[in-house]
Amino acid sequence: MNPTRPSSLRLFAALSVLAAAPLSARAVEVSLAQCPQAVRETIAANRKGGRIDSIDHLPGRGRYLVEIDLSGRRELDLEIAPDGRLLRSVEDMRLARVPAAVRKTVRKRTPAGGRLDDLEKVTTSKRVVYRVEIDLPGPRDLHLLVSTNGLVLKRSLRD
């Protein structure tokens, strides 16, 4: 038996999956200088003093995905159209920095023995919502989508 055969098969399988992926799914890492001027301006206007970690271009969709490292081990992800329109931002948040109504909902939904695991502010052109993950006692986690006024828009339990 050839000891290189299993890894060759894995490599072939991985390449086959990549080749079958639509062009829009293939991200190409680019530098800030390679981005259109409008995209660079949007990044500068929204980076919140953070350091750019990576910029990926999705050629099939024309969009730019930007990962920014913020202070306090937080991240900010931006999705930007080629014309510079900010399509979506996702920012790691601390509970103390969200609206009081969101804090109240998170505290109310966190049971004894549970803990807030992840909190993100998601901003699009249409709305701002907060994605919340609460570690519950036991194998499941509670996932919430909360509006700025504290209304739970979506609730699910996941393993």
Residues 49-62 have pLDDT tens digits of 999 999 999 988 88
pLDDT, tens digit (0-9, with 9 covering 90-100), for 39-85:
999 999 999 999 999 999 998 888 999 999 999 899 999 999 999 99
Asked if 70 and 50 touch (Cβ cutoff 8 Å), the reply is yes
pLDDT number for residue 23: 45
Q: What's the CA angle centered on 54, arms 64 and 16, to 5 degrees?
A: 75
